[in-house]
Homo-oligomer: A and B are copies of this chain.
Amino acid sequence: MATGRTHRPATRSRGIPEATVARLPLYLRALTALSERSVPTVSSEELAAAAGVNSAKLRKDFSYLGSYGTRGVGYDVEYLVYQISRELGLTQDWPVVIVGIGNLGAALANYGGFASRGFRVAALIDADPGMAGKPVAGIPVQHTDELEKIIQDDGVSIGVIATPAGAAQQVCDRLVAAGVTSILNFAPTVLNVPEGVDVRKVDLSIELQILAFHEQRKAGEEAAADTVAVPPVAARKQQHSTGSADKGPDGDVPAVMPA
């Protein structure tokens, strides 16, 4: 044996599974909606339905945070909103820079749900000198030259890359060198970053290709149903129907720029 390595650092109780972390924002959104409608409590069943997951998963997820529910009753909405927000680090302010103010960058800058959570657009950056000073979403665009200064002055630790693919790695290197440790990448490229820097990517074309795969399979299975005597349990398969891209292991969507 001894194949396994470090087993687990076991920081104890701080070990929230990655899959759970990825769902917390979903729960938070559903809870916020309930809160706005002044609903005082929810059962795991109701909340799960609103978030698009099943109740067993939701309860297990919450169990990693602690015991915030009341047996026989459910969860206190306001309390849960607070606990999840705190767990996600949304009770503090996160200044964010967006680099690449093309169609997509502008769209991101205008995104409302941005400020509603703890995020604040600290600056919009573009390499085109012609863009400099032009306001987008009420914020003047600044030239790439200012990047390092802005990051240091505002203590920015999260950067969003919405540039063409060709510029992404270079922008990434500068962000990291200036102190950014989390990057959301919309450019269709693999970014190389040093250890300790987190990268998440969003890639439209990848999402479409995954849909195309399933679409093709649906068509193929239909056709097969005519020719072959449908094998025992064939078409069953767990279509991710209702739950949305529930299992999507990655989750990409390339920048919206003529790559």
Chain A interface (Cβ < 8 Å from any Cβ of B): 6, 9-11, 14, 18-19, 21-26, 28-30, 50-52, 87-90, 92, 94, 96, 102-104, 106-108, 110-114, 116-119, 157-158, 181-185, 188, 190-218, 231-234, 236-237, 239-259
Distance of A179 from chain B, by nearest CB (Å) = 12
Whether B247 lies near A213 (C-beta < 8 A) is: no
Q: How many angstroms between the C-alpha atoms of A67 and B190 in the bound complex? A: 26
Whether B51 lies near A190 (C-beta < 8 A) is: yes
Whether A257 lies near B214 (C-beta < 8 A) is: no
List B contacts of A254 (CB < 8 A). Answer: 111, 113
Q: How many angstroms between the C-alpha atoms of A87 and B214 in the bound complex? A: 10
Closest B residue by C-beta to A215: B182
Whether A218 lies near B21 (C-beta < 8 A) is: no
Known pairs A10-B231, A11-B231, A248-B250; list 13 more (Cβ under 8 Å). A21-B210, A110-B256, A111-B205, A112-B258, A116-B259, A119-B205, A182-B214, A184-B207, A190-B243, A198-B241, A199-B241, A200-B210, A202-B204
Tallying the copies of this chain within the complex gives 2
List B contacts of A50 (CB < 8 A). Answer: 190
Whether B204 lies near A259 (C-beta < 8 A) is: no
Whether A184 lies near B208 (C-beta < 8 A) is: yes
Q: How many angstroms between the C-alpha atoms of A181 and B205 in the bound complex? A: 18
List B contacts of A211 (CB < 8 A). Answer: 158, 182-184, 198, 200
Q: How many angstroms between the C-alpha atoms of A84 and B190 in the bound complex? A: 19
Distance of A218 from chain B, by nearest CB (Å) = 6
Q: How many angstroms between the C-alpha atoms of A181 and B9 in the bound complex? A: 44
List B contacts of A181 (CB < 8 A). Answer: 215, 218
Whether B158 lies near A208 (C-beta < 8 A) is: yes
* Partner among B183, B239, B259 whose Cβ is within 8 Å of the Cβ of A197: B239
Q: How many angstroms between the C-alpha atoms of A217 and B257 in the bound complex? A: 33
Whether A198 lies near B214 (C-beta < 8 A) is: yes
Known A-B contacts A198-B240, A210-B25, A256-B111; the reply to A247 vs B18 at CB < 8 A is yes
Whether A190 lies near B103 (C-beta < 8 A) is: no
Whether A245 lies near B52 (C-beta < 8 A) is: no
List B contacts of A21 (CB < 8 A). Answer: 210, 213
Whether A213 lies near B250 (C-beta < 8 A) is: no
* Partner among B10, B192, B206, B240 whose Cβ is within 8 Å of the Cβ of A242: B192
List B contacts of A11 (CB < 8 A). Answer: 231, 234
